[in-house]
Amino acid sequence: NAGVTQTPKFQVLKTGQSMTLQCAQDMNHEYMSWYRQDPGMGLRLIHYSVGAGITDQGEVPNGYNVSRSTTEDFPLRLLSAAPSQTSVYFCASSYSVGYNEQFFGPGTRLTVL
């Protein structure tokens, strides 16, 4: 199993550009989530999904969209990048929500100029 994979590993955007961060897992996990990690602030939940076709907002959803058309994939879209979205983004998955630890992808380091 590859576990949780994320692409790209690094990305530089200009303000106003859009892009999609890819996340995939091959463990047949129902729960998937996106976090951003900023210095001194831990990880903050952006969006999450409890299964294909079901998504919901987390703590900091503004400026981001998600969709979950398959169990395996959970892409994160930045609609119009802003410097405040400069961060490290982690995708995570777990077998189900509630009683299982999350497995994290390697992260995407995003810089918005």
**Would you say how long the chain is, in residues?**
113
Q: Which stretch binds another protein (CB under 8 A): 10-18, 55-63, 67-75, 79-87?
A: 55-63
3-state helix, strand, coil in the chain (%, to 5): 5, 50, 45
Q: Which is nearer to another protein, 17 or 67 (CB)?
A: 67
Minimum separation from the CB atom of position 101 to another protein (A):
4
Among 35, 64, 74, 89, binds another protein (CB under 8 A): 35
Structure tokens at 39: 């210095």
Residue whose pair of structure tokens reads 């999609």 in the numeric block = 20
Tell how strand 108-112 and strand 10-13 pair up. parallel
Write phi, then psi, for 11 (nearest 5 degrees): -155, 135
One symbol per residue from 64 to 103: x for binding another protein (CB under 8 A), - otherwise; what is it?
--------------------------x-x----xxxxxxx
Name the strand (E) or helix (H) holding 67: none
Minimum separation from the CB atom of position 9 to another protein (A):
11
Residues that bind another protein (CB under 8 A): 31, 33, 35, 40-45, 48, 50, 56, 58-59, 90, 92, 97-107
